Amino acid sequence: MGQIWDFLIVQPIAFLLRGLYGFVHNYGVAILLFAVAAKLVLLFFSFKGKRGMLQQQRLQPKIAELQKKYGKDKQKMQQEQANLYQKEGVSMFGGCIWALIPFPLIIALYGAVRQPLTYIMQIPPSDVTVISETLLAPVTSAQTLLDAAGAEATIASGELKTAQDTLAAAAENAKDAAQLEVDAAQRKLDAANAKKTEAQATLDQVSADNKVAVEAGRNGTLELYIANKLTADEDFYREIEGKGITGLQKINFNFLGLNLAAIPSFNSVLLLIPILSALTSFLSVWLTQKFSGRPAAGGSSMLMMYLLGPGISLWLGFSWPAAIGLYWIIQNVLGIPQEYYLTKFFNKKLDEEDARKAALEERRKAAEAAQKEEDRQRRAERIAEQNQKRKPKRYKLKPTAAQEAEESDGEE
């Protein structure tokens, strides 16, 4: 899995970054151009994510009504909410899923930036090992001497113990000879301890002289340190060439006086990068909310939204090389106008869709009302017809003779 990730994600990113640096010969500008390219590549996902987020925002009033109606019945609430999303054609996780797409990119960029010898300078792993061993050779040599002195002192301590046991068990006439062996073993142990102390002092001194390199080796940033040293230290570069490693590309990590290969700390000017990263992240979140033109959720969820992104930016800014912080700043700055125009574009589209839906709903209701009226009239006609059929016929009685005579007199 790691090899697939390296081949499909990290290597292409390193290739692009390497090509940009070879074109502009400025590491900071290369990061800037890479951020612009990444923003363009991720624009499709930004479209999807923005549309999904705005659709979800438009459903919030209806979801609030469902919460009032089914707030006590969580299972019913979830079912009704799922039905609402399905009816409106909105994915419950659409906005979140697309927003997560850039994270693999920045993790891959981190891998490429943190290991410039391997990914940007394309030095084979075996040569990286040789360079690392050459850099740390004084420390390694001093540690080897200390280990040897320690082993010698351990052996001498064992010999002294053996000599002491021999002395304790020796007969009276052999104690003098045994004592001589004890004294010799003690002198040997003292000499070994002195040698060990000297080796420890040498190691401490060498470690102090190479403190940054030693710390880089411990915290996994040795490649960053070596890449800087190959550019700044001509003697070290020639020493590496003497090992048979030639044609190395020198990378100047300085940008506006800042070393983008270093990890920011509170006692360096690089602390500006994590701070700016956090500030631009907060500004991006705040403006995005303003651009939406819709009220956001209040309380703790609102506070979490405003603080989570900037907090992560600040924390990672002091944990990763400054180049990553610069990338994040550029992404945040570019994201502000992008959010503005995408929000404006999709709000217009969604307003048009809502208007069409409303018109269709009005026509549907009008058609239903007309159909109901037609059905009512038909029912009324059927009822009237049925009533007419059920109405009894009236028969005239035949007049009597007296009645006929009266009618005749009346006519005369």
- In this predicted structure, what is the pLDDT of residue 350? 77
Is 138:210 a contact under the CB 8 Å cutoff? yes
- In this predicted structure, what is the pLDDT of residue 171? 77
pLDDT tens per residue across span 327-338: 999 999 998 888
Is 311:363 a contact under the CB 8 Å cutoff? no
- In this predicted structure, what is the pLDDT of residue 92? 66
- In this predicted structure, what is the pLDDT of residue 407? 57
End-to-end C-alpha distance for the chain, whole angstroms: 125
The dihedral of CA 219, 223, 226, 231: what is its sign? negative
pTM, entire model: 0.72
- In this predicted structure, what is the pLDDT of residue 294? 56
Helix (H, G, I), strand (E, B) or coil at 100: coil
Q: Point out the residues of the chain with pLDDT beneath 50.
A: 299
27 CB-contact burial (10 Å; exposed 0-12 / middle 13-18 / buried 19+) = buried
C-alpha–C-alpha distance, residues 326 and 271, integer Å: 11
- In this predicted structure, what is the pLDDT of residue 149? 92
- In this predicted structure, what is the pLDDT of residue 97? 64
Interior/surface letters 278-291, b for 16+ CB within 10 angstroms, e for the rest = bebbbebbebbbeb
- In this predicted structure, what is the pLDDT of residue 377? 87
